[in-house]
Amino acid sequence: MFSKMSNNTVLKKEFERSKYLLKRLFSLKLVRVVVITLIILINLPFVLFLILKPTPVKDINYGVTFSNRYSSEIGQNWKETYLKILDDLKIKNLRLVVYWDDVEKIKDTYDYSDIKWQLTEAEKRNVTVILALGQKVPRYPECFAPNWWKDLSNEAQKESELYEYVGETITQLKTFRMIKMWQMENEPFWPFGICEKTYKKVVENEIKIVRSIDERPILIQDSGEGGFWAPTYKMGDYLGISMYRKFWYDFWGRFLNRSFYFQYPIAQWMYKVKADLVGVPINKIIVTEVQAEPWGPGINSSLSQDEKDKSMSPSDFIATISYAQKSGFKGLYFWGVEWWLWEKEVQKEPFYWDTVKALIQ
């Protein structure tokens, strides 16, 4: 009995001592600040979600990015693929690409026949177009300047030739009424691709040239996951962003001596919250690249089924569509339409093509 009472007394004294020490600890201003800061940081995402959470949009404008260049690279007849996108998939919103090294292979000799054909077929079907142009445009390696331009050593001359190309492109293509906006460069300030550094003043000058020739809006693209958004948006009228979820990239090998797949730890509501926090109106944002194809260690037509499934399986495809739909954006342009048709015709897997066909019709 005496032992039990002694133990209780000791415990009580230890408890009182602990309470006294905690009281002394929290009497220190620095400790209070640290604790309060931690509580705020832990709860901040939940508060932001409740205040700024997106509302899923009804009547989403679905579209696709089409690259005649990429279509050819995976073994397709790109014109046949394009017509199937228009007539079988019946897409009504396109993002098309002008490739400088195809248009001006020889200095001052321009050939816009490929893009004019695409625009003509789009106009026949009342399909709206976002047209991307510049030296950095969609699809790896991202930058498509002609070889003669790369060989120039004078930077002022290189800029002058770029501006001349931009002006000629707008002049040649402005008659196509279904172009609803121009995209000037593609993620010009995001360090991805085999590219020379893009300077802000160069993009600003390109934009001035476009505005001097045509009055349609200008979209500037930024990384949805890593970009700052606001500075990029302020350069134009609309902001284009990417929405990628799973990818492979060998820059991991620089740190760990190996490459592997990575999934962005970003909830769909965080894009809307980011837009509000940086001051970009959500109705001025178009998701121009919703990942809807694999991102693996090679061109998609060369990947094994196991490798493709690591970044874009059928279940990933459905999950990505749902993810994008809940993000609160009205314009969603899928990335990978060429691959969907390749899967359907070469691999006899119509799932991706037919899923989007059912979604948009």
Would you state the pLDDT for residue 112? 98
Both 302 and 215 in one domain: the answer is yes
User: In CATH, what number is assigned to the domain containing residue 302?
Assistant: 3.20.20.80
> What DSSP element (H or E) covers 332?
strand 331-335
Both 127 and 146 in one domain: the answer is yes
Whole domain around residue 117: which residue ranges?
A: 57-360
Would you state the pLDDT for residue 253? 55
Query: 264-305, pLDDT tens digit by residue?
Result: 889 999 999 999 999 999 999 999 999 999 999 999 999 999
Both 137 and 25 in one domain: the answer is no
Both 294 and 160 in one domain: the answer is yes
Q: What's the rounded Cα separation, in Å, for the pair 273 and 215?
A: 31
Task: With a cut of 50, say whether residue 37 has pLDDT above it.
Answer: yes
Both 168 and 317 in one domain: the answer is yes
Query: 91-137, pLDDT tens digit by residue?
Result: 999 999 999 999 999 999 999 999 999 999 999 999 999 999 999 99
Torsion of CA 167, 170, 173, 179, to 10 degrees: 170
Mean per-residue pLDDT, 75-79:
98
Both 46 and 68 in one domain: the answer is no
Query: Which segment of 11-20, 120-129, 185-194 scores lowest on mean pLDDT?
Result: 11-20
Both 44 and 99 in one domain: the answer is no
Contact indicator for 239, 286 with CB cutoff of 8 Å: yes
> What DSSP element (H or E) covers 288?
strand 285-291
Looking at 12, 35, 52, the residue that finishes a domain is 52
Both 192 and 220 in one domain: the answer is yes
Whole-prediction pTM = 0.85
Both 177 and 310 in one domain: the answer is yes
Both 68 and 173 in one domain: the answer is yes
> What DSSP element (H or E) covers 340?
helix 337-345
Mean per-residue pLDDT, 164-178:
98
Would you state the pLDDT for residue 255? 56
Confidence of residue 2 (pLDDT cuts 50, 70, 90): very low
Number of domains in the chain: 2
Both 34 and 100 in one domain: the answer is no
With 0-12 / 13-18 / 19 or more C-beta atoms within 10 angstroms meaning exposed / middle / buried, residue 284 is: middle
Looking at 52, 67, 86, the residue that finishes a domain is 52
Both 27 and 72 in one domain: the answer is no
Task: With a cut of 80, say whether residue 356 has pLDDT above it.
Answer: yes
